[in-house]
Amino acid sequence: MTIDKFDFDATLLTINFATRLLAMEVDPDILTDRVVETFCDLGNCQDATLMMYDEYRELKGVAASLKQRRVIINEHIPLNKAMLEAAQSLRPVVRPVCDDSIYPLPSECCETDKTCLCVPLVGSRDRVRGFVTLYRPKDQQWEVSELFQLSIVSTVAAISIENSRLFRQTIEDSLTGLYMRRYLFIRLREEVQRFKRRGGPLSAILIDVDNFKLVNDNYGHATGDVVLRAVGQIMYDCSRQGVDLPCRYGGEEFVILMPGSEKKEAEIVAERIRSACAVKEINTQEGAVNVTLSCGVASIEECEEPSAGELLKIADKRLYCAKESGRNRVVCQ
């Protein structure tokens, strides 16, 4: 089967659009979602699995699309013959679908009415970074133009993921895994400029760990680090992935920048974080540790002159009020 001139031109336009969509994104969470969405669109299917090798070269499931519903996953995926063949040939491999997994994965022996396409993600130096698997009915054959598109976009996706990981290392706090203060101000200035051009909500939450000095004094700095990581994880879990920016502001202070959120919505998130931390027993080598949080919430609409500094200044004043009025609370006025 060949690709005629009309199909080839249309294919190049599709690849160009997909390439720009992936190459311009550096946020790992957003990029993950775009990779899954792009492969589903190009493969004309609703189900896909994205798997990546971690730093230990173990294959982990990252995300999936199940009937167009996005699912974040984090589990080990056994490497099978189809994946090995795809990795060795650097080309997509078609196999039956494995019935033993809820995620689309290839099988060597299961005969079903669906086929699974295993696409290797070939990055720099022809190194396979992971796989994307797609499935659809057996009577819906994979066209040459589709395989051509998916092969090219798989390399773009792999290199985009590599770049996002490198970029993340420059903006990520090594202790908590949250964004660093430097990146917060970069994004905050961008969001303020966007607000000045188009309007729309923008809120921020400033968070401080109550009496954190006592944790370090009583248990040591190693335990303090465990506490900060636990607080960072709570913040991450309570934030909208790919939308909110949870950041370590410095020491035991944190900020969540919330584009597109009114102050009332930010208050709900802040209270969710505060209450989750209040009941959390943080396991350390010194035993279980409990800490509480104080939060100040502000909206860009409250600023007399919208700016990054003014937004954080209002949030900081409210954080101070939360501390002065007894700690372990959220202040929004």
Q: Which of 133, 150, 49 is nearest to 96 (CA)?
A: 133
CATH number of 181-331: 3.30.70.270
pLDDT in tens, the chain (333 residues): 444 444 666 667 777 777 887 887 877 778 898 999 999 988 888 899 999 998 889 999 999 998 878 888 888 998 999 999 999 999 999 888 877 788 878 876 656 667 889 999 999 999 999 999 998 887 888 888 888 889 889 999 999 999 888 887 888 899 999 999 999 999 999 999 999 988 899 999 999 999 999 999 999 999 999 999 999 999 999 998 778 999 999 999 999 999 999 999 999 999 999 999 999 999 999 899 999 999 999 999 999 999 999 999 999 999 999 999 999 999 998
Are 297 and 330 in contact by the 8 Å Cβ rule? The answer is yes
Catalytic residues: 252
The ranges of the chain annotated as CATH 3.30.450.40 are 5-169
Residue with tokens 């001139």: 5
CATH number of 5-169: 3.30.450.40
Quickly list H helices, the chain.
5-23, 28-42, 81-89, 144-171, 181-198, 212-219, 221-238, 263-278, 308-324
Are 254 and 244 in contact by the 8 Å Cβ rule? The answer is no
Are 153 and 22 in contact by the 8 Å Cβ rule? The answer is yes
pLDDT of residue 1: 45
Supply 302's token pair.
């409250």
Q: Which residues pair with 280 in a beta bridge?
A: none
CA distance 217 to 253: 18
The ranges of the chain annotated as CATH 3.30.70.270 are 181-331
